[in-house]
Amino acid sequence: MNNMTMAMRRRPEILRMLCRTILSASSSSEQIAKSCSSDEMIKYEQEYSAHNYHPIPVVFSKAKDVHVWDPEGRKYLDFLSAYSAVNQGHRHQKILDALVEQAQQLTLSSRAFYNDKFPVFAKYLTNLFGYDMVLPMNTGAEGVETALKLARKWGYEKKGIPKNEGIIVSCCGCFHGRTLGVISMSCDNEATRGFGPFLPGQLKVDFGDVAALKNIFEVHGDKVAGFLFEPIQGEAGVILPPEGYIQSVRELCSKYNVLMIADEIQTGIARTGKLLACDWEGVRPDVVILGKALGGGVLPVSAVLADKDVMLCIKPGEHGSTFGGNPLASAVAIASLEVVVEEKLAERAVEMGQVFRNQFLDLQNAHPDIIKEVRGRGLLNAVELNAKGLSSVSAFDICQQLKERGILAKPTHDTIIKFSPPLTIRLEELSEAVKAFKEVLEHDLPKMRQQLQGSVTEHQPSACDRCGRHEYNRRPAGIRYQQQIFEEESNCFLENI
């Protein structure tokens, strides 16, 4: 009997062995998940996962609405909402029902074929936001990359920008993701160091500085394809622009024939109290990028909205995504948006956000040496702390103490803490967070300052590699603009070597 014949006869036995191995591994994984403590879970992640995040040491095991539980059953209030991806609350029943129902029918077709859910989603989304067309993607970063490609294509085809000379203008302090194209316009040293060379064709302007933006358009306007901005800068620390800024941007973009591109991935879908944050000034951007809460905290879904004269610059084969517009994501996104509309989550965000800020302003009045500023819109808020008041304590340390008191928030930079709970949160739960913050300031902070005394000097933000300035230490617009011209000329010189 030859080896081939023996192998054929043993095939059922081999298959049974493989099945036993797979089942054993599966049950082993389930047992690990059920039996491991939070500390063990954290240890596993630190050992087996890339160290590209610095999480607050808490393990999510279960979640519902505004609460999460760890493996030991400890209950917390979620004041991050997965960076606003869970605006509708964790595991909203309508969204879960849409997920399960669609998963039992069809999950993926790819855009090589039509499916019966994406067209419904496309019609609903464009009607809701008032645009002609949508280009679906998966993550927010993909949405931004899509918008940048779309702007450049439009610039060459419709505006007549010379080949390969298209410029995208973005804001200092922006955060649009961490792809190589996006970090080419980043001011965050952690995001940029060690990843060059960067994508050319980028110019920077201070967020909120209308005069500087006008200067760039006057000098480079014939080559500027788009101006990409966040209506409120989220990761920079919930930085609101001056009143009227977004309207001024609209007027400048219209005057100089530049696409106004609003990154509403974090600020959109009711987070600030309007369906879009740009709605606060009654402004309609040329391109809108959506993500995060579009998937209701269940699936990654992103989308780029624009009218036909812009969107149809992209032809078949020029851009796409295997999973973009898949039927499962489409069904989930429809349900996610319906929840926002039906439960009036934008209106709730306005009401709850004002109460929340008022309570924190009272706390600031009681502790002006520690709380520097309270700011935000709707339920996208931040508390900035005085570096001197903190001494050697960081915002991360404060967040760890908040966790011990049942509140989960995340710092951005050394002295800023963001508070962005699900939009379904109730007044008593908001007050619970303010109470916990007060207790941390009055009871925990003095102890931490004493313990850390002398271990670290006062917080000194590092200078930006791009412009040499420290965060929030803005130079006059004219000085900044000269720096931009110098950088552009230097880049052009390097490219021609």
Sign for the pseudo-dihedral over CA of 323, 327, 332, 336: positive
Residue with token string 């050319």:
200
- In DSSP notation, 458-470 reads S--PPPPTTT-PP
The residues that bridge with 229 in the sheet, in sequence order, are 262
Q: Are 407 and 426 in contact (CB under 8 A)?
A: no
How distant, in Å, are the alpha carbons of 157, 158, 495 from that of 223?
A: 12, 12, 18
Say what the pLDDT of residue 260 is.
98
Helices H, strands E: what count in the chain? 19, 15
Whole-angstrom distance, CA of residue 281 vs CA of residue 471: 27
Neighbours of 301 (CB within 10 A): 30
Q: Any idea of the CA torsion for 325, 300, 202, 205, to the nearest 10 degrees?
A: 120
User: What is the pLDDT at residue 17?
Assistant: 54
State the pLDDT at residue 149: 97
Which of 206, 209, 263, 414 is an active site residue?
263
List, as one string, the DSSP characters of 122-157: HHHHHHHHT-SEEEEESSHHHHHHHHHHHHHHHIII
Which bin fits 291, alpha (ψ -120 to 50), beta or left (φ > 0)? beta
Enumerate residues 6+ apart whose C-beta is below 8 A from 383.
360, 371, 373, 374, 416, 417, 419, 437
The residue annotated as part of the active site, out of 292, 372, 410, 418, is: 292
Determine whether 362 is an active site residue. no
Query: What pLDDT, on a 0 to 100 scale, did the predictor assign at position 467?
Result: 72
Kindly report the number of other CB atoms within 10 A of residue 247's CB atom. Answer: 15
Closest CA to 400 of 448, 459, 451: 448
Q: How much is the pLDDT for 34?
A: 64
- Residue range 153-197, pLDDT digits in tens: 999 999 999 999 999 999 999 999 999 998 888 888 888 889 989
Active site annotation includes 292: yes
Output the tens digit of pLDDT for each of the chain's 497 residues.
555 444 445 555 654 554 455 445 555 555 565 668 999 999 999 999 999 888 999 999 999 999 999 999 999 999 999 999 999 999 999 999 999 999 999 999 999 999 999 999 999 999 999 999 999 999 999 999 999 999 999 999 999 999 999 999 999 999 999 999 988 888 888 888 899 899 999 999 999 999 999 999 999 999 999 999 999 999 999 999 999 999 999 999 999 999 999 999 999 999 999 999 999 999 999 999 999 999 999 999 999 999 999 999 999 999 999 999 999 999 999 999 999 999 999 999 999 999 999 999 999 999 999 999 999 999 999 999 999 988 889 999 999 999 999 999 999 888 999 999 999 999 999 999 999 999 999 999 999 998 887 665 455 566 777 777 765 544 333 323 333 433 443 343 223 22
Q: Let me know: does 262 contact 289? Beta carbons within 8 Å.
A: yes
Tell me how many degrees the CA angle 144-298-150 measures, rounded to the nearest 5: 15
Helix (H, G, I), strand (E, B) or coil at 39: helix
pLDDT at position 483 is: 36
> Catalytic pick from 79, 129, 175, 227?
175
Kindly tell me the burial class for residue 8, based on how many C-beta atoms sit within 10 Å of its own C-beta (0-12, 13-18, 19 or more).
exposed
Please give the domain boundaries of the chain with CATH numbers for all domains: 93-344 (3.40.640.10), 345-452 (3.90.1150.10)
* 299, 82 contact by CB (below 8 A): no
pLDDT the model gives residue 482:
32
DSSP bridge pairs for 63: 68
pLDDT at 477: 37
Six-digit token string for 359 = 């309570």
Predicted confidence (pLDDT) per residue in 334-356, tens digit? 999 999 999 999 999 999 999 99
Calpha distance 486→497 (Å, rounded): 17
User: What global pTM score does this model have?
Assistant: 0.88
156: its two tokens: 């060459």
194 phi and psi, to 5 degrees?
A: 85, 5
Among candidates 111, 212, 101, 201, which has minimal Cα distance to 148? 201
Rounded to whole angstroms, the Cα distance separating 44 from 356 reads: 37
- Report how far residue 123's alpha carbon sits from residue 356's, in angstroms, rounded to the nearest whole number: 36
Which pLDDT score is estimated for 243? Answer: 96
Task: Report the distance separating Cα 213 and Cα 144, nearest Å.
Answer: 20
Position 23, amino acid: L
Q: Are 417 and 399 in contact (CB under 8 A)?
A: yes
3-state DSSP helix/strand/coil % of the chain, to nearest 5? 45, 15, 40
Catalytic annotation on 188? no
- Residue 37, helix vs strand vs coil: coil
What's the CA gap between 257 and 151, in Å, rounded? 12
